[in-house]
Amino acid sequence: MATNKIILRIEEEGAREAAEIVDAAKKKAAASTEKIKAAAKVKIEEINAQAAADADEAARRQILIAELEARKNSLDSKRKVLEMAFAKAEENIAAMPEAQWEKLITNIVVKAAETGTEKLCVPAADRAKYEGGFLDRLNAALVQAGKKGELTLSDEAAKFAGGILLQGKTSDFDGSFATILKDVRTRIEKEVADMLFAAEVK
């Protein structure tokens, strides 16, 4: 009888302890679950924040690329307009009236001639003008400027379309219109650009 009581007591105690263990395990599991959920929530928020930051960075880069492309296109357009402006200037020089052409050549020769005894290399299309009296007028202009008026025509035709080449004893002067325009462009291209695009800058 006593033995049965002891066995019963042990069973009761074991059941109680088992219940306590199960209850503790449930509480621990519940705590672990909450901890895991909290950690997962934090991780999700971090992932969402990183995704948003990545999206913002991608958008910023796309905007930057678009701005650079627009700037490049704008510069290309401006360059084309400048090319057209200088090409038009070259056309105007080539088509200028003879009196204006003669005045331009005279200015070039008077300023560029060192001695007044140089040879003039001119385009074949202009040779008749020099032989028809323009060479004499050039020499007269040189004398008036205090230089010798002893220019002569070279037998060789110039390889450029317009202008003149002065061949001296020590050096030559390239007075071709193409070279003159190139020099002018180097000096005033920024000024021309400012004139063409002034409205855009404002």
Strands 172-176 and 152-153: unpaired
Q: What percent of the chain is predicted at pLDDT more than 70? A: 72
Phi, psi of 162 (to 5 degrees): -145, 150
Query: What is the Cα–Cα distance from 26 to 92, expressed in whole angstroms?
Result: 98
pLDDT score of 42 more than 90: no
Question: Contact 185/177 with Cβ under 8 angstroms?
Answer: no
Please, what is the average pLDDT of the chain? 80
Query: What is the Cα–Cα distance from 194 to 83, expressed in whole angstroms?
Result: 14
Task: Work out the pLDDT band at 202, boundaries 50, 70, 90.
Answer: very low
Question: Contact 120/135 with Cβ under 8 angstroms?
Answer: yes
The per-residue pLDDT for range 129-140, each reduced to its tens digit, is 999 999 999 999
Strand partners, 167: 119, 172
Query: What single letter denotes the amino acid at residue 132?
Result: G
pLDDT score of 145 more than 90: yes
Give the 3-state secondary structure of residue 157: coil
pLDDT of residue 15: 53
What's the average model confidence in pLDDT over 177-201? Answer: 77
**How many Cα atoms sit within 13 Å of 169 on the Cβ side?**
4
Sheet order of strands, 119-121 included:
152-153, 119-121, 163-167, 172-176
pLDDT score of 14 more than 60: no
Instruction: Tell me the whole-structure pTM to 2 decimals.
Output: 0.57
The per-residue pLDDT for range 66-123, each reduced to its tens digit, is 676 666 666 677 778 778 877 888 788 878 899 999 999 999 999 999 999 999 999 9
Helix, strand, coil percentages (3-state) for the chain, rounded to 5, are 75, 5, 15
For 143, the enclosing helix (H) or strand (E) is helix 135-144
pLDDT of residue 50: 78
For 136, the enclosing helix (H) or strand (E) is helix 135-144
Query: What is the Cα–Cα distance from 202 to 188, expressed in whole angstroms?
Result: 21
